[in-house]
Amino acid sequence: MSSMKNKRFNLLLIAVVTLVALWSLWPTWRDYSFSRQLSSLSSQQDSLNYTLSHRNEIEDARQKSLKLGLDLKGGMHLVMEVDQVDLFSEKAWNRDARFDSLMAAVAQEARTSDADVVDLLTAAFKKDNIRLSRYFYDIRNTDSEIQGKLRNEAGDALVRAREIIRNRIDQYGVAEPMITTQGNRKIIIELPGVSDENRMRNLLKGTAKLEFRLLREPDALIRTLDRINSAMAAGTIAAASTGKQSISPLYDLVSVSPGGSAVIDARNRDLVSALLRDAAVRDLLPPDSEMLISARPETGNDALSYHDLYLVKKTPELTGGVITEAKATFGSQGVQPEVLMSMNSEGTSKWARITGANIGKRVAIVLDGAVYSAPVVQSKIPNGNSVINGIQSLEEAKDLEIVLKAGALPAPVRIIEERTVGPSLGADYIRAGFQSMIWGFSAVVIFMIIYYRTAGLAADTALVLNVLIVLSVLAGFNASLSLPGIAGIVLTMGMAVDANVLIYERIREEIADGRTVTAAVTQGYDRAFSSILDSHVTTLAAAFLLYTYGIGPIQGFAVTLMIGTAASLFTSIVVTREIFQFLLSRNKMTAKSFG
């Protein structure tokens, strides 16, 4: 081990590792000093000039610097799930009540377990002795062929959903978002430093399914409401009730104006929409019809808020797939925000035909099942333009613009996990993490010096290098540092010196047995190696498994623990040994050097 050549190699290795670590952390240092520099400049003009003149360097440093995790910087971690049950239901043909009840059961199961939806579906169909081909694809397909097709469908939907969500986030403007898929229905979204989380959630949540649907005639609406009302009064519908017995239960919730339009009090909106979801109510509607509620309430003459109730055709005349461009603006009076849309050529010709054939009728503009407006068609629209009004704020108009541009999701997505940390708590975490690092480091360093003197100092030098290596690997691989990650570093500090403790104790024994210091050092390193290796391997194995099975925040801990443990094999053994060799060669080591 101590031949000349070997020694050279070790020294070279230490030098290279140290330099690479420093080089990898250099941009982080630059980034830090730039921000210090900027905050020291007093006037805005000065800092703007400074930023402009150093723009490339600042950008470069920021890109390569050590990133802080979401919990330290503040931000959102979201897991969204593509609703595969909905996706498959859309794909099915000749759906009937039996199919619907089966799918509802599957949906219930899928919500509470992590099992594959295709498997759940197959199991549910098997239990009822129904072949998948009765509802899916081709009657000649076997079950396993259909399973494969459904799986492909799900995979495609997931990829499309990811792209659309990425589009929305990019349009909104988030710095460095991370969007990945996991398994066959999950999308994981990391959004650092989002200030307006409410808006972000709304932006991600909607399917953005835009439809143009014809309204049914006013008298059809009135007849339908009457039918529902009498059914409710007869007690055949046990759904929503205002809590009092009445001869016209529906008209306690819905008021009809002579013009044939129906409105509901905003406070009863949830009641009514629950009522409209009731299968018994749906059976009372005219064929190919659907009852929808307006997206936004309007203030009536009596200062109360009302939602409109519409009866529309179920089959849309046109869907949002034809939209090529959307733009949020203010309307003609300059007060009402609206979104202008233009269509591709296919959409333009269809739109012209639809509007030409339905002059004087009303077309509802429906987004995700809510009616934004239902303007009367004045004339044929030849240029493929259309407008969404009924929007409350410019911000909402902007978000509509974003989701319309990004396109509709293939199936609804739901937020199934969220971890959001506000920036103020993030600052607290940074302080806490920094304090633990400083105190942990100091405690270990001081203890080692007191207990082992010179040798302790060597171990401390190695420890500094160890922490440098962990941080530089994180920076170099573009990983981020989170609070659990910091905990991993602090824990590693305590574990890294353990190797030195084992070696030094052995050396003390050898010296006590009367060996020379040089011989004792050699013996100590050789003899302690086996237990050091064992302890490192077991810790590495545990950390690796934690990384493999861990999710989100815990992985940060596993990563720093792994890097730190692996680095400690090098720093605690090779580095300290080289320090001793150097000191021994200058006759600077005595038996006292090991405390």
Partner 1 sequence: MRIFNSTSINFLRYRKIAYGVSLAILLAGFVSLAVKGLNYGIDFRGGSEVVIRFEKDVPVGEVRSVLRDAGVSGTLKQYGLDRSFLLSTVFSGETNDLKLLITSALNARMKDAPHEIVRIDAVGPSIASDLKWSAVKAMVAALLAILLYVGIRFELKFAAAGVVAIFHDVLIVLGLFSLLGGVFDVMPLEMDQSIIAAFLTIAGYSITDTVVVYDRIRERIRNQKPSEYERIFNESMNQTLSRTIITSGTTLLTVFVLFLFAGPAIRGFAFAVFAGILIGTYSSIFVAAPLVFDWLRLSKTPVRLRGSSKS
Interface positions, 54-83, toward partner 1 (CB under 8 A): 71, 79, 81
Q: Does residue 112 interact with partner 1 by CB under 8 A?
A: yes
Instruction: Tell me the C-alpha distance between 318 and 213, whole Å.
Output: 7
Closer to partner 1 by Cβ: residue 111 or 267:
111
- The half-sphere exposure of 549 on its side-chain side, counting CA atoms within 13 A, is 5
Q: Calculate the dihedral angle through the C-alpha atoms of 362, 368, 370, 375, rounding to the nearest 10 degrees.
A: -20
Q: Does residue 47 interact with partner 1 by CB under 8 A?
A: no
Closer to partner 1 by Cβ: residue 93 or 439:
439
Closer to partner 1 by Cβ: residue 72 or 343:
72
- Tell me which residue of 363, 405, 403, 402 sits closest to 381, measured CA to CA: 363
Q: Which of the stretches 16-24, 214-222, 251-259, 494-502 binds partner 1 when contact is defined by CB under 8 A? A: 494-502
Question: Least distance to partner 1 from the beta carbon of 523, Å?
Answer: 9
User: What SS3 state is found at 292?
Assistant: strand
Angle, in degrees to the nearest 10, between helices 84-91 and 143-172: 120
Q: Which of the stretches 105-113, 255-263, 404-412, 471-479 binds partner 1 when contact is defined by CB under 8 A? A: 105-113
CA distances from residue 143 to 93, 104, 135 in whole angstroms, order as listed:
16, 20, 11
Closer to partner 1 by Cβ: residue 113 or 378:
113
Which one among 490, 507, 563, 583 touches partner 1, defined by CB under 8 A? 490
Instruction: Tell me the C-alpha distance between 368 and 209, whole Å.
Output: 5
Instruction: Tell me the C-alpha distance between 380 and 357, whole Å.
Output: 8
Site string for partner 1, 199-238 (x = CB under 8 A): --xx------------------------------------
User: What SS3 state is found at 41?
Assistant: coil
Closer to partner 1 by Cβ: residue 356 or 494:
494
Tokens matching residue 324 = 């090529």
CA gyration radius, the chain: 34
Contacts to partner 1 from residues 113-172, by CB under 8 A: 113-114
Q: Which of the stretches 86-94, 141-149, 151-159, 412-420 binds partner 1 when contact is defined by CB under 8 A? A: 412-420
Contacts to partner 1 from residues 513-542, by CB under 8 A: 526-527, 530-531, 534-535, 537-542
Contacts to partner 1 from residues 545-574, by CB under 8 A: 545-546, 548-554, 557-558, 561
> Can you list the alpha helix ranges (DSSP code H) found in 262-383?
269-277, 279-282, 345-357
Q: Do 411 and 82 touch, CB atoms closer than 8 A?
A: yes
Q: Do 116 and 184 touch, CB atoms closer than 8 A?
A: yes
Which one among 433, 485, 524, 564 touches partner 1, defined by CB under 8 A? 433
Closer to partner 1 by Cβ: residue 158 or 285:
158
Question: Least distance to partner 1 from the beta carbon of 237, Å?
Answer: 27
Instruction: Tell me the C-alpha distance between 118 and 446, whole Å.
Output: 59
Place of tokens 């199961």: 109
Contacts to partner 1 from residues 234-263, by CB under 8 A: none
Question: Least distance to partner 1 from the beta carbon of 45, Å?
Answer: 33
Q: Which of the stretches 207-215, 242-250, 317-325, 413-421 binds partner 1 when contact is defined by CB under 8 A? A: 413-421
Q: Does residue 3 interact with partner 1 by CB under 8 A?
A: no
Q: Do 221 and 284 touch, CB atoms closer than 8 A?
A: no
Count of positions on this chain that bind partner 1 (CB under 8 A)? 80
